[in-house]
């Protein structure tokens, strides 16, 4: 028996499978930790409502996320940067994070040759509706300043408001 060989991840399914079944709990736990770490790097700590400037270069990379996961003992399974990139791609497709263009080495004048640190990721700010009134057509109406109860433009005759109310 060849016990010193490790089977290919094509056969075992890699770290995402346990006993030939996809371990959805493990994937969800690790992807949530990846998202939380990226969100922490995405917005200034002193003012979470603001955003970084366009030249900010300290967003999380797949290598940083992997170091965070492994250094904090979040996963007992040894995950590679490629495994982390699979999770980050899933988060990109879910609309939770976005991938930013590769970093540039300003002093050398060329893109970073290190593939592991080339893409940066930042969290997408969640948009919540605070009230159903935020969708009212009056807020976007170009003639709202002329709208009166007895005028030519009025809530009684407004087609957009009627359509919104009937929805």
Q: pLDDT, tens digit, for every residue of 32-46?
A: 999 999 999 888 888
- pTM above threshold 0.75: no
Q: Residue 103 — pLDDT band, cuts 50, 70, 90?
A: low
- Among residues 161, 155, 153, which one has the least CA distance to residue 137? 161
pLDDT interval class at 114 (50, 70, 90): very low
Q: Which residue has the higher pLDDT, 3 or 20?
A: 20
Highest mean predicted confidence (pLDDT) among 48-57, 64-73, 106-115: 64-73
For the record, the structure tokens of 32 come out as 């949530």
Query: Is the model's pLDDT at 117 over the cut of 90?
Result: no
Nearest Cα neighbor of 118 from 62, 70, 79 is 62
Secondary structure percentages of the chain, helix, strand, coil, to 5:
45, 10, 45
Average pLDDT of span 134-142: 75
| DSSP secondary structure, 58-85, as one string | --EEHHHHHHHHHHTT--SS---HHHHH
- Give the rounded distance of the alpha carbon of 94 from its chain centre: 7
pLDDT of residue 108: 41
Contact between residue 16 and residue 79 where contact means Cβ atoms under 8 Å apart:
no
| Residue 110: pLDDT over 60 | no
Of residues 90 and 19, more confidence is placed in 90
pLDDT over threshold 50, residue 107: no
Distance from C-alpha of 167 to C-alpha of 102, rounded to nearest angstrom: 45
Residue 118 pLDDT greater than 90, yes or no:
no
Q: Is 83 exposed, middle or buried (0-12, 13-18, 19+ CB in 10 A)?
A: buried
DSSP codes, 29-45: HHHHHHHHHHHHHHS-S
Of the chain, the end-to-end C-alpha distance in Å amounts to: 69
Beta bridge partners of 104: 111
23-27, 106-110, 113-117 — most confident range = 23-27
Distance CA 149, CA 156 (A): 7
pLDDT band at 146 (very low <50, low <70, confident <90, very high): confident
Tokens of 46: 């002193």
pLDDT-derived band at 51, boundaries 50, 70, 90: confident
């Amino acid at each position: 028996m060849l016990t010193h060989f490790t089977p290919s991840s094509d056969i075992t399914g890699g770290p995402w499978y346990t006993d030939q079944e996809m371990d959805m709990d493990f994937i969800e736990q690790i992807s949530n930790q990846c998202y939380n770490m990226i969100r922490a790097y995405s917005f200034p700590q002193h003012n979470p409502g603001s955003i970084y400037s366009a030249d900010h270069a300290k967003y999380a990379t797949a290598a940083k996320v992997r170091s965070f996961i492994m250094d904090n003992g979040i996963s007992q399974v040894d995950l590679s940067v490629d495994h982390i990139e699979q999770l980050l791609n899933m988060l990109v497709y879910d609309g939770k994070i976005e991938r930013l263009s590769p970093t540039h080495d300003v002093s050398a004048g060329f893109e970073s040759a290190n593939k592991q640190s080339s893409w940066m990721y930042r969290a997408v700010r969640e948009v919540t509706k605070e009230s159903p009134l935020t969708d009212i057509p009056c807020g976007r109406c170009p003639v709202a300043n002329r709208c009166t109860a007895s005028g030519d433009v009025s809530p009684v005759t407004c087609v957009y408001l009627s359509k919104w109310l009937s929805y």
